[in-house]
């Protein structure tokens, strides 16, 4: 039974029936915006953006402080909405959706004016004697934010906050699997005082997302699957629309021979099973050096057997799979692994005691790289453990993947941990912790290879919602640095200048 399934169109709108992943009972309907609806939203956003962009960054930041107050005060409304659509444990809904929204909201509100202030650049050589430069960060205009179902509130709220702080108008298109959580983002931003047409939410399916890009936004921020990301990249490329794509992952965990095995086992379990394994930085491949393999597996298995899975969100560690299509992928990957020789230490099936979309927390050993579980994104509560000879083999296997979003290394040698982490072909890495980079607001977050294009978060992410415009001014005089007509004297002077300023290493140090 599908969590969202098409029904008869109504008044020109594509319609879907929505169901709870916990009970499979209906929880509402989704009416998709038409292409005309999307075009109208874009027109309103273009009209509203100049006045919003003309406000100072400090003024825009004040709205975000109000927003943070609302998120804290009305956290139960967020939690209840997210749980209704996803079945997350209450603790995870609080930590992942509320806490992780408030923290960056306050962070960027406090620092946006610094990150976006005009930046003077020192110019080198003779140019620096004659000219001065300043880079100003101008809003791009209208930003389209297209978001997924696995973090339906936080992954919609964070890009909207950053784009708005940068002075843009925003049109948010949430996932059709979790539309109410996305709608709540717009509600809170409006309640904080941001004008209605500056932040708009258009609901719908993949066609709605395509219509939004066809409407011609000035930037697209997308979080979701690789397959959809490729389609968006093509659509944006045809229209020369800047875009950031935060896509899938197959994060590797490396357990070194000197690792604290107790801590590493806990890290493996939370890294693989948090959010039911449905987050892009989930640990999906674990490479354990042979010397500590047996001890590590023993501790992971013992801890996995203690995990609680229940439809009681207040007494649960691992919740429902949010989407029936994802549950089918999880089953396929586990079945493929078992058929090819993997051993199921714990779990390995749908939970027969629960009505909804529950897959048991699972530990697999004897896995190999010819299995889907070690190649393709699983997005489920699966701990897949592979024995390796040494750390070098672990790094080689970690890099044997089309994905590169995050990774983690476990060792008691801090310097060695940094060296190994730097060797992993990935967007970011952690040492002695699960993937942390998205939660660290000071740093950029983005993937390499099939895991994405561009970065979000950090000063770089905030500035990515702007056009960095350099302005060059003369220090002295009122005329151009050179003028017509070109003569033999022009050529002689330029040639002499090249020899003077760069003809020796000494002069290069002065003017280079």
> What residues are labeled active site?
246, 280
The CA distance from 149 to 179, in Å, is 8
In angstroms, the Cα distances linking 8 to 11, 17, 30 are 10, 10, 12
Bond before 485 cis per omega within 30 degrees? yes
Q: Are 347 and 380 in contact (CB under 8 A)?
A: no
DSSP label at 415?
A: H
Residue 283 pairs with which residues in a beta bridge? Answer: 251
HSE at residue 341, side-chain half, CA atoms within 13 A, is: 8
Backbone angles phi, psi at 225, to 5 degrees: -80, 160
Task: In whole angstroms, give the CA distance from residue 33 to residue 393.
Answer: 50
* Contact in structure between 253 and 271 (CB atoms under 8 Å): yes
DSSP 332: H
**For the chain, counts of helices (H) and of strands (E):** 18, 19
For the chain, how far is it from start to end, CA to CA, in angstroms?
67
- 446/465 Cα distance (integer angstroms): 15
| 228-249 burial: b if 16+ Cβ within 10 Å, else e | bbeebbebbeeeebbbbbbbbb
SS3 call for 314: coil
Q: What is the DSSP string of 145-207?
A: EE--SSSTTHHHHHHHHHHHHTT-EEEEE--TTSHHHHHHHHHHHHHTT--TTTEEE----HH
- Alpha carbon separation from 149 to 171, 176, 225, 389, 458 (Å, rounded): 17, 8, 11, 38, 23
């Amino acid at each position: 039974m599908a969590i969202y399934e098409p029904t008869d169109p109504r008044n020109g709108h594509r319609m879907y029936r929505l169901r709870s992943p916990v009970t499979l009972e209906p929880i509402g309907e989704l009416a998709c915006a038409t292409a005309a609806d999307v075009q109208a939203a874009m027109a309103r956003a273009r009209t509203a953006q100049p006045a919003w962009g003309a406000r100072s960054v400090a003024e825009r930041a004040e709205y975000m402080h109000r927003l943070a107050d609302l998120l804290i005060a009305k956290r139960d409304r967020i939690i209840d909405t997210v749980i209704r659509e996803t079945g997350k444990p209450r603790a995870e809904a609080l930590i992942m959706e509320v806490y992780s929204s408030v923290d960056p909201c306050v962070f960027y509100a406090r620092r946006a004016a610094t990150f976006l202030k005009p930046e003077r650049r020192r110019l080198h050589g003779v140019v620096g004697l004659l000219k001065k430069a300043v880079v100003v960060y101008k809003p791009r205009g209208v930003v389209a934010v297209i978001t997924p179902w696995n973090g339906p509130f936080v992954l919609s709220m964070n890009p909207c906050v950053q784009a708005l702080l940068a002075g843009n108008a925003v049109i948010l298109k949430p996932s059709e699997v979790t539309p109410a959580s996305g709608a709540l983002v717009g509600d809170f931003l409006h309640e904080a005082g941001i004008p209605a047409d500056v932040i708009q939410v258009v609901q719908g399916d993949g066609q709605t997302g395509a219509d939004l890009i066809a409407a011609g936004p000035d930037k697209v921020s997308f979080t979701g699957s690789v397959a959809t990301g490729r389609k968006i990249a093509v659509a944006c490329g045809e229209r020369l629309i800047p875009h950031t794509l935060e896509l899938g992952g197959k994060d590797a965990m490396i357990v070194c021979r000197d690792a604290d095995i107790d801590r590493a086992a806990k890290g493996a379990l939370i890294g693989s099973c948090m959010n039911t394994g449905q987050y892009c930085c989930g640990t999906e491949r674990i490479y354990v050096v042979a010397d500590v393999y047996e001890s590590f597996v023993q501790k992971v298995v013992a801890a996995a057997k203690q995990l609680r899975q229940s439809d009681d969100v207040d007494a649960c560690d691992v919740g429902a799979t949010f989407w029936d299509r994802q549950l089918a992928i999880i089953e396929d990957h586990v079945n493929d692994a078992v058929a090819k020789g993997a051993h199921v230490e714990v779990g390995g099936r749908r939970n027969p005691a629960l009505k909804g979309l529950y897959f048991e927390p699972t530990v697999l050993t004897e896995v190999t790289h010819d299995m889907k579980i070690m190649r393709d994104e699983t997005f489920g509560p699966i701990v897949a453990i592979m024995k390796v000879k040494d750390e070098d083999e672990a790094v080689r296997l970690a890099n044997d993947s089309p994905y590169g979003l995050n990774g983690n290394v476990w060792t008691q040698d801090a310097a060695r941990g940094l060296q190994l982490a730097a060797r992993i072909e990935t967007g970011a890495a952690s040492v002695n912790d699960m993937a942390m980079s998205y939660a660290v607001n000071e740093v950029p977050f983005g993937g390499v290879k099939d895991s994405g294009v561009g970065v979000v978060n950090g000063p770089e992410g905030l500035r990515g919602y702007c056009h960095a415009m350099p302005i060059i001014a003369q220090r002295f005089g009122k005329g151009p640095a050179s003028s017509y007509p070109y003569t033999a004297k022009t050529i002689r002077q330029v040639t002499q200048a090249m020899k003077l300023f760069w003809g020796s290493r000494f002069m290069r140090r002065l003017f280079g």
